[in-house]
Chains A and B, each alone.
Chain A
Amino acid sequence: MFFKIEARPEPSKAMKYFSPLVAALLMLFSGLIIFSLLGKDSIEAFYAFFIEPVNDLYGIGELFIKAAPLMLIGTGLAVGFRASIWNIGAEGQLAIGALFGGYIAIVFNDNSGFFILPLMIVAGAVGGLLWASIPAFLRTVFNANEILVSLMLNYVAILLLGLLVHGPLKDPDGYGFPQSVLFSDSALLPILMEGTRFHLGVLIAVVGVIVGWVLLQKSFTGYQIQVAGLAKNAASYAGFKYKKLIWIGLLSGGTAAGIAGVLEISGPIGQLLPTVSPGYGYAAIIVAFVGRLHPGGILLSSLLMALLYLGGESGQMNLDLPAAVTGVFQGLLLFYLLATDFLIDYRVCFSGFRKEAI
């Protein structure tokens, strides 16, 4: 053996920051290989996928629009993940948030006023929170696994949204298409930058990330969450109520996802559709991990994940690449991250050419 693996005396701080970068680079490198396997000129495809979408102001705006729901949900999920509370129901919580917010927009469609948009956001937050409170309630009262319950509720939520958009919330003048009326201007997020679609929602998402940062890094609750995640027994000896942390962990993700749902329908979509998210709720799980469950890191990783979405669209239009490539890249990124995290606690040493003495 020329190399051997040994445990580091203490976890490497440098690798903690470095491994997401290594994972991202490995993913980009895999991209070159995948593109050439698909019979494309890999440099050209790489350019079209990762650079072309963001080489003008409009593209940068799009990047932030896609990153907004991801950073918001990612931060919300990180609150739970830090305490080993696994909410993977953000996709459904987003759909219910969109449903609640969209309902407000449809009810007030003939009115105009500054109150409509804030009301939609509050409604969306409440919707996501209520949907997330189902797994929280079932976990704390009946001990039901929150992973499975929150995941099952994704399917239920998306079916519910589809049911209502096909039925009562359908645009009566829409020739029977399953979509709501187009929202009035009072229900749409204002565009902040000429020539782009960069809207107010991006700032709302950034505020959400800052709130998450205060909660996680600066509050006593954040400290309790941290302790519960590292050592559950220690947390209970210290008198921290784990049930309370379950509620906080699940509801913060649900609220964030609900708001993100409203940002989608009142931003880029502008009406209620049976599908309001291209898998943001699942992608946000990766965003949270790649961002090291830290709001600052999540901000950066959401931009990377948004680039994967944009690249997928651009590759589909310009190079005839299948859209599913985005999903493959997302999965690979998380695999690489989990693999390189090994280097935080372990190191690979060159052990010379001699056989090890036993």
Chain B
Amino acid sequence: MDFDIFIKILVAAIASGTPFVYAALGELITEKSGVLNLGVEGMMLVGAICGFIGMATTGSIFVAVVCGMAAGAFMAGIFALLTLSLMANQVASGLALTIFGVGLSSFLGLNYTSVALSGVPELHIPLLSDIPVMGELLFSHDILIYCSLFLFAAVSWFLSKTKAGLVLRGIGEAPKSAHALGYNVIAIRYIAVLFGGAMAGLGGVYLCIAYTPMWVEGMVAGRGWVSLALVVFATWRPARVMIGAYLFGGITVAQFHVQGFGIEIPSQLLSMLPYISTIIVLVFISRDPTTIRLNSPASLGATYHPSQPHS
């Protein structure tokens, strides 16, 4: 294989994995607090279209990012209100959020389907980006990719090195004990859920202003669900989330290059690849129930409220 093409695929894999990085790291924080939000797909879609509208209206990447994060957090806010304050079932509420998000995003995006954006320019870091191979691989991406790396560092540091991170993990393991220690479980879970929503929204924004600078109805195309699977695949560890995200980025990119090598495969079969890989990866990681049980936050998905009379 031509080495240049190989590097190009790797660079493309990083870009294509970045929406997963944002959405999955956000969901990781949400799940670490013990809340399972299945609405990632819906939050990404609404974040994407709101970011797109922001970019199309003002031309500013910053405005797009703020709009997308706010929209994602707003969606997560609905979920938090239902599950944390009104004690609704988390699975049902997450599904509702996705169904609502699919409808809302195509509704908001009606007048934007034929709008083209200029995209996000690549930042060529002087000198460093001139290094052969490594320069292209590491130092010539757009700003949102560098931000996603910063997010990874911040999330890892927060979870493993800060007291707040410890509290968050404690709440995910044993909300009752955390409450007894005087922590406001509901308030902290609200913050974790809103953060997850904002990051899902940002992942959506990246997709529609940088990765493919246009709006297509339902363009997230299951990436929100793959992000949920990635958190399981990563056994709730940030570093493994990154590996998984770029792996899936690579699989997504590979389908475009296979045909480039003159291999005749129907496009539909290639499009199935990311979804089938997700299933295979899930099966591989879940086959030992103990791994999942030891690594997943103990109270994940269970409703908790201090006022609950029983259980």
Q: Which residues of A pack against B, CB within 8 Å?
A: 5, 7, 84, 86, 88, 138, 142-145, 147-149, 151-153, 155-156, 159-160, 162-163, 166-167, 282-283, 285-286, 289, 322, 324-332, 334-335, 338-339, 341-342, 345
Contacts and interface: CB of A to CB of B under 8 A. Distances in A.
Nearest to A331: B100
B219 to A, nearest CB: 14
B76 to A, nearest CB: 13
Contacts of A84: 91
User: Which of A5, A160, A285, A335 is packed against the most chain B CB atoms within 10 Å?
Assistant: A335
28 contacts: A7-B307, A7-B308, A88-B95, A138-B283, A143-B292, A144-B279, A144-B283, A145-B229, A148-B225, A148-B282, A152-B222, A152-B278, A155-B272, A159-B268, A282-B102, A322-B106, A322-B107, A324-B107, A327-B99, A327-B100, A327-B103, A334-B100, A335-B78, A335-B100, A338-B86, A339-B86, A339-B88, A345-B87
Given A285-B95, A328-B103, A331-B101, A159 B283 contact: no
Give chain A's interface secondary structure class: helix
B99 A145 contact: no
Contacts of B147: none
B99 A282 contact: yes
Contacts of A324: 103-104, 106-107, 110
B132 interface: no
A331 B86 contact: no
Contacts of B87: 342, 345
A73 to B, nearest CB: 14
A331 B41 CA distance: 14
Contact of A142 (B93, B226, B287): B287
Contact of B268 (A151, A166, A289): A166
B60 interface: no
Nearest to B91: A86
A342 B93 CA distance: 13
Contact of A149 (B272, B282, B287): B282
A144 B287 CA distance: 7
A322 B228 CA distance: 30
Contacts of A163: 266, 268-269
B118 interface: no
A338 B110 contact: no
B266 A327 contact: no
A144 B271 CA distance: 22
Contacts of B81: 339
A251 B104 CA distance: 31
User: Which of A283, A324, A338, A339 is packed against the most chain B CB atoms within 10 Å?
Assistant: A338
Given A334-B99, A339-B86, A155 B107 contact: no
B183 interface: no
A283 B95 CA distance: 11
B101 to A, nearest CB: 7
Given A322-B107, A324-B110, A334 B225 contact: no
B253 interface: no
Contact of B82 (A88, A332, A338): A338
B289 A327 contact: no
A152 B88 contact: no
A81 to B, nearest CB: 8
Given A338-B82, A338-B88, A342-B88, A328 B286 contact: no
A156 B272 contact: yes
Give chain B's interface secondary structure class: helix
Interface string B206-237: 00000000000000011001101100100000
Interface in B93-139: 93, 95-97, 99-104, 106-107, 110
B299 to A, nearest CB: 15
B26 to A, nearest CB: 17
A149 B271 CA distance: 16
B107 A328 contact: yes
A341 B268 CA distance: 42
Given A327-B106, A335-B78, 4 more contacts: A151-B222, A152-B229, A289-B92, A331-B99
Contacts of B110: 322, 324
A153 B289 CA distance: 22
B275 interface: yes
A320 B278 CA distance: 40
Contacts of A283: 99
A304 B135 CA distance: 58
Interface string B38-59: 1000000000000000000000
Nearest to B42: A331
Contacts of A147: 38, 91
B5 interface: no
B295 interface: no
Given A7-B309, A156-B275, A286-B99, A145 B104 contact: no
Contacts of A289: 92
B276 interface: yes
A138 B221 CA distance: 23
Nearest to A334: B96
B100 A332 contact: yes
Contact of A330 (B97, B99, B226, B309): B99
Contacts of A142: 283, 286-287
A244 B55 CA distance: 52
Contacts of B160: none
A286 B107 contact: no
B259 interface: no
A282 B287 CA distance: 28
A155 B266 contact: no
Contacts of B221: 155
Contact of A328 (B100, B282, B307): B100
A147 B289 CA distance: 16
A12 B17 CA distance: 48
Contact of A162 (B95, B104, B268): B268
